[in-house]
Amino acid sequence: MTTLPRLLTVVGDPHDINTWSNIPYFFLQAGQQAGFLTDGLPLDCDRLKQQRLLWNAGHWLTTGEYGGFQYSQTALRSLFSQVTLPPGPVEFISHFPLLPPRPWAADWRVSYYLDATLRQNFEDYGIGQQVSQRMQQQALQQETENYRQAQSIICMGRSGARSVVEDYGIDPAKVHVIPGGANLDEAHLPSAAELVDQPMALSPVRLGFIGKDWQRKGLPFLLAVADDLQARGIAVEVRVIGPRSADLPDHPCLRPLGFIDKATQLPLFVDQVRSFHFGCLFSSAEAFGISNLECIRLGVPVLARRIGGIPETVPAGLGHLFDPSDSATAVADVVERYVDQPQTYHAWRSKVVARVAEVTWATTVQRFMQVWDGSREFQYDL
């Protein structure tokens, strides 16, 4: 149990499952259960709507640029003013590199848990198109200072850790890599023993896809894999969770399943994901890749692209990672081998089931506790 308040903060409310792809919610729940986190700060961005409009208007009039309110000290201080902090020393773990806002109290200890740096978000993931150049520069300067003053910087993947060290000049001794867990309610999930099932026929072979941003996450590439398999006479389905069917391309292999709310429709989500033979994520850019963890937690091996933070979502032996230059044919070759050797596939799936605990938030929190106890096991190595 922490001896001083250890508070989780994010732009939003970590008690709300809909905040930032569910990550703060599940991290907070697991952290509190383990006695590692005391609480989360409930910040309400909706209360700043009018202030945002006024700020954007003023920023446009004074600079000729638009966008970036959420990175301004005005916004961040307004958010933090919504909560009353406990008296005395406080420790923060922040999912956002500009929180807590400056100035920091002398008895604050601040650490970060990030999927990506702002430099990556602005340049690699396209967010910079919505943020004025001046605000980007100010945010990056403040982010650098925050990292220098931080106790520890924990990144979900090596790509984020590399950015912290190389783009911001931060000492790698205080940078660690700890992947997040599957964003699923463990209390209502099947155990590893319950995931053991009868061998599944690989005809049709079912390629699973989870994600609303289907173009960036590589659905067109996955459909090309399906085309290649069909040309070899292999029956294939591409099952898609997330987008509306009307938004998806027309393709004979496509099986749209629509949006499934994991908070209210978890049994349906579990059943559909378990029907996949492979979870697939071939993103063009990806800070992390929660869908891989969700598939593995439900006993489904994954096929994914080695890009961004994706490698940290695929523990060794639980999936195949492909280079960005690998073709759809290269992926189809791997799938065909398993179709031709179903016993090998079923043995692999059993291996995944036996290791589902590795991708839970409970495991993530245990690794945090090791770092806080002085372990260097997860330290980023150049």
Instruction: Say what the pLDDT of residue 107 is.
Output: 97
* Assigned token pair, 35: 């006695």
When pLDDT is averaged across residues 44-71 and rounded to a whole number, the result is: 94
pLDDT in tens, 344-370: 999 999 999 999 999 999 999 999 999
Instruction: Say what the pLDDT of residue 21 is.
Output: 93
- Out of 3.40.50.920, 1.20.120.1200, 3.40.50.2000, 3.40.50.300, the CATH code matching 6-181+361-372 is 3.40.50.2000
| 81 alpha-carbon distance from chain centroid | 28
When pLDDT is averaged across residues 291-295 and rounded to a whole number, the result is: 99
Kindly report the average pLDDT of the chain as a whole number. 97
pLDDT in tens, 268-286: 999 999 999 999 999 999 9
Whether 2 has a pLDDT exceeding 70, the answer reads no
pLDDT in tens, 99-150: 999 999 999 999 999 999 999 999 999 999 999 999 999 999 999 999 999 9
Q: Give domain limits for the chain.
A: 6-181+361-372, 186-359
Instruction: Say what the pLDDT of residue 113 is.
Output: 99
When pLDDT is averaged across residues 24-35 and rounded to a whole number, the result is: 99
Q: Do domains 6-181+361-372 and 186-359 have the same CATH topology?
A: yes
Whether 98 has a pLDDT exceeding 60, the answer reads yes
In this structure, are residues 114 and 95 in contact, taking their beta carbons and an 8 Å threshold? Answer: yes
Instruction: Say what the pLDDT of residue 382 is.
Output: 77
When pLDDT is averaged across residues 74-79 and rounded to a whole number, the result is: 97
Instruction: Say what the pLDDT of residue 66 is.
Output: 84
Q: Is the pTM of this model over 0.75?
A: yes
Task: Report CA Rg, the chain.
Answer: 22
Percent of all residues in the chain with a pLDDT value above 70, rounded to a whole number: 99
SS (H, E, C) the chain: CCCCCEEEECCCCCCCCCCHHHHHHHHHHHHHHCCCCCEECCCCHHHHHHHHHHHHHHHHHHHCCCCCHHHCHHHHHHHHCCCCCCCCCEEEEECCCCCCCCCCCCCEEEEEEECCCHHHHHHCCCHHHHCCHHHHHHHHHHHHHHHHHCCCEEECCHHHHHHHHHHHCCCHHHEEECCCCCCCCHHHCCCHHHHCCCCCCCCCEEEEEECCCCCCCCHHHHHHHHHHHHHCCCCEEEEEECCCHHHCCCCCCEEEEECCCCCCCHHHHHHHHHCCCEEEECCCCCCCCHHHHHHHHCCCCEEEECCCCHHHHCCCCCEEEECCCCCHHHHHHHHHHHHHCHHHHHHHHHHHHHCHHHHCHHHHHHHHHHHHCCCCCCECCC
Lowest mean pLDDT among 18-32, 139-153, 190-204, 290-304: 190-204
* pLDDT class of 167 with cuts at 50, 70, 90: very high
* Assigned token pair, 217: 């996450």
Whether 1 has a pLDDT exceeding 50, the answer reads no
- Out of 3.30.43.10, 3.40.190.290, 3.30.360.10, 3.40.50.2000, the CATH code matching 186-359 is 3.40.50.2000
